[in-house]
Structure 1
């Protein structure tokens, strides 16, 4: 008797291959821009439907699996949809079609070159993102992690000038150097100790390693995951701001940095295990490092007049909230870390969309140039305000939820340093974001002869959509909260 057909395995396969098929379709239709962009939007929409198709099973407690091929005993290219991966895949698949719509308006309005290559690399990057989200083990994750780096390199260097090439060298050097020099040895060491690299609830390293060596392995992982942008591995991120704004949105919200912090949380929960790390002597170093990155990056952001650079250092800071939440080692703080992956994604992509809209419509890049611009671009600056509230952590924006759970976890474990860092960084967030909003709506324009209005309609539709989703995530948060709770078997309130 034939086994029943596994629809979930088919959906996993489709999630991995649809973006690649879309990339081929985009390349074949490159001479016909309307058709090329239609292929991009249709592919993005189909991927979202496929990912949503996996959601009911995961919410119901199932963990769909698909093994592609066994490479060595204990090492296979395999995929498994667990709650954190489901949350990451949902965020990426929801934002891809919106980012694609935004990209159409931006790339056309600014008459960017090599648009076909841009859309092809974008699609390949989303395929890699799905592979990372659904990886069943460290080996599979590492393969797609590297594919994501290589597929986004042409996007970082898209403009082709000297600044872009220099940024590309920093980007590739830091991300490949950290992953090959630190992350890969950590994966090999883990396999040698445990005989497997599978992601398992409770971790796989208990009773295999302890004391200072366990701390050393954790250090290799944390600095090897360069995409998480822990200082001093963060330099690639502000350097990559020379890329077009849709690329910045991809790097900061949809794929690259989220792949980094996603991997950090997954390694802490499924490789080390919360209980194992709680017994590490002087294991608080990761919490201290995350706290240092949060505060220092926020102070640097305060000093930036260039809007994209301020947003970039804000991202460095906000990413370390995820690491801080995981390093607190309390179930509720880890839930907060998982929620922050989604909350930051929607809020930060809104901010970058707004920055790109301002550049497209008004050709302004510096914060000092934005006085009074809110009245000429009310939709854009209204969305920017919502993104700002989420970054600060003010209700009714999504960023409040994740910070709230991190604070509760910090209080439960009496991690007063974490509490102080969250409070202080919230004040710093307000200090470098609120003056932009105030100046845009309350101060006279720098150039009162300007005649521009809003950016082209696709750009405005995209940024208002992500701003709306930032509010919606706060109001209708049960699905992400359920997934975050399942991560550690914590019932969602």
Structure 2
């Protein structure tokens, strides 16, 4: 039996080794893509065996070295990190299948660089998931920003470069201005940055100082897209659709909200924040972000832009859940990380399939497209159900837990935000499904018919749609990990 330290080290190093193999096979597309798929499958085979250990109460750990005294590069597999690692490694396989169909179907250039950077992004995501302290998380968080920049600017156009500058500027800027000082101050106050059940700041700060430090963390973790530091996300939509899926579902934004929940649970501690009222302001900011992003999405005609603002609102569901600090809401935060991942990647896969098969990018152009692309738009409808929070999709489960937590805590303003956002979500998703299936196709489509996108793309998006349904009926693993996170 392979030891836990070996599994952690293999999980961290496999995507890096795979990136090297992909680069070496660059002149042989079939071999290059086989290397991608094999690496992704091997990564999941290293991550998955850690799950039963974590569910049994173990916390597998690995310490590599100390950068400075008291600041080690160290890894600990706790329940929330286990969930994030499963999401990232599992979806990499599906995204790789989709990417092969998309990149070939659209004759994209620089495909080798794309697959190399994608593998390195997954390596950084696993490093974030398994980070044993804030310092290690910070290092891999910054690496994730840097290795995804070439993916955002993949097309090399002026628009792509401008989007990349916004992406890099906001994410690096928030890290340097807010997150790095928060890390240093935590180390100074607590003498450690280790993620510890119950937190490391209890009794060490005044109410004002605690709220101030939380402010630094929440806005320093720019990948969580809390307003006003959200513009990098729609700016990054200039990237190819598989990159959008990476940004929205597999690694980048998930790294953001994962880091938010991990810091709240393991650095501050829910009991400490409840006792000192340090998170009261965060519920208001998250609620505002949910409503404001939903209103922008409602007015957006470009499909990827609509999905981008939907993501901003959905991320703040996780932040809102974490800020409520009740057991049910913290469980909802963990559940929504998984539910949003499979639902939103389905929606972006569908958007990319529509572009590849029909060359359409706007909602107003989708009349009747469901008749020509029934698998794609059927999967889109399932992803939309999940984002709205309706059964039988995974988003219903996490939203139910969040709503129950808010009602149990008497947070009626939060309940109102959830109900209003549900209506807004329906307002910008239902018309897309209606147009696709219940309106006649345009005259252009009648004269220039098209079918589904390449088979690999359809297989990928139907797989993630099926996963969205499966998580509704079988939420056992994320629920068990959420209970382990809360010490249950």
TM-score for both structures, normalised by structure 2: 0.99
Aligned to 1:342: 338
Give the structure 1 partner of residue 208 of structure 2: 212
Asked whether the equivalents of residues 212 and 281 of structure 1 are also in contact (C-alpha less than 8 Å), the reply is no
Task: Measure the CA separation in 1 of the matches of 2:113 and 2:482.
Answer: 36
Aligned position for 1:62: 58
Give yes or no for contact 1:330–1:413 (8 Å, CA) kept in 2: yes
In the other structure, the counterpart of 1:477 is: 475
Question: CA offsets, 1:166-219, max 9 Å, x none?
Answer: 000000000000011110000000000000000000000001112111111000
1:6-54 deviation per Cα after TM superposition (whole angstroms, max 9, x unaligned): 7000000000000000000000000000000000000000001111111
Q: Name the residue aligned to 1:172.
A: 168
Q: Secondary structure at the match of 2:325?
A: coil
CA distance in 2, matches of 1:360, 1:427: 31
- Structural mapping, 1:344-423, within 5 Å: 344-423=340-419
- How many Å separate the matches in 1 of 2:398 and 2:40? 27
Match of 2:219 among 206, 223, 226: 223
Deviation of 1:73 after TM superposition, in Å, equals: 2.9
Render the CA deviation track for 1:94-149: whole Å, top value 9, x for unaligned. Answer: 10010000000000010000000000000000000000000000000000000000
1:230-261 per-position Cα deviation (integer Å, ceiling 9, x unaligned) = 00000000000000000000000000000000
Q: Does 1:125 align with 2:121?
A: yes
Whether 2:447 is the aligned partner of 1:452: answer no
Secondary structure class of the residue paired with 1:381: helix
Counterpart for residue 299 of structure 1: 295
Distance 1:282 1:23 in 2: 42
Structure 1 runs of 4+ aligned residues shifted over 6 Å read none
The one of 175, 179, 184 aligned to 2:180: 184
1:465 matched to which residue of 2? 463
What secondary structure is seen at the aligned counterpart in 1 of 2:276? coil
Structure 1 residue aligned with 2:282 = 286
SS in 2 for 1:351: helix
Whether the aligned pair in 2 keeps the contact of 1:138 and 1:198 (CA below 8 Å) is yes
Correspondence for 1:330: 326
- Alignment root-mean-square deviation, CA: 0.9
Separation of aligned partners in 2, 1:394 and 1:45:
32
SS at 1:279's partner residue?
A: helix
Structure 1 CA distance for aligned equivalents of residues 52 and 77 of structure 2 = 12
Residue 11 of structure 1 contacts residue 51 of structure 1 at CA under 8 Å; is this kept in 2?
yes
SS in 1 for 2:482: helix
TM-score by length of 1: 0.98
| Equivalent-residue separation in structure 2 for 1:280 and 1:350 (angstroms) | 40
Does 2:253 align with 1:257? yes
Distance 2:95 2:81 in 1: 21
Equivalent position to 1:108, from 104, 108, 120: 104
Would you say the 8 A contact 2:227–2:289 is kept in 1? yes
Deviation of 1:284 after TM superposition, in Å, equals 1.2
Task: Give distance in 2, aligned partners of 1:474 and 1:276.
Answer: 33
C-alpha separation between the residues in 1 aligned to 2:174 and 2:225? Answer: 11
Aligned to 2:46: 50
Distance 1:281 1:472 in 2: 38
Q: How many residues align?
A: 486
Unaligned 5+ segments in structure 2 are none
Which one of the candidate residues 120, 123, 140 is aligned to 2:136? 140
Residues 135 and 141, structure 1, Cα contact 8 Å, conserved in 2: yes
Superposition deviation, residue 71 in structure 1? 2.6
The 8 Å contact of residues 106 and 459 in structure 1, kept in 2 or not, is answered as yes
* Residue 315 (structure 2) pairs with residue 319 (structure 1): yes
The Cα shift of 1:280 comes to: 2.7
Report the 3-state secondary structure (helix = DSSP H, G, I; strand = E; otherwise coil) of the residue aligned with 1:318. Answer: helix
Structure 1 residue aligned with 2:484: 486
1: CA distance, partners of 2:7 / 2:278: 43
Residue 86 of structure 1 aligns with which residue? Answer: 82
Distance in 2 of aligned mates of 1:6 and 1:332: 35
Distance in structure 2 (CA, Å) of the matches to 1:245 and 1:324: 28
Select 1:308's aligned residue among 301, 304, 309.
304
How far off is 1:412 after superposition? 1.3
User: Which residue does the alignment assign to 2:434?
Assistant: 438
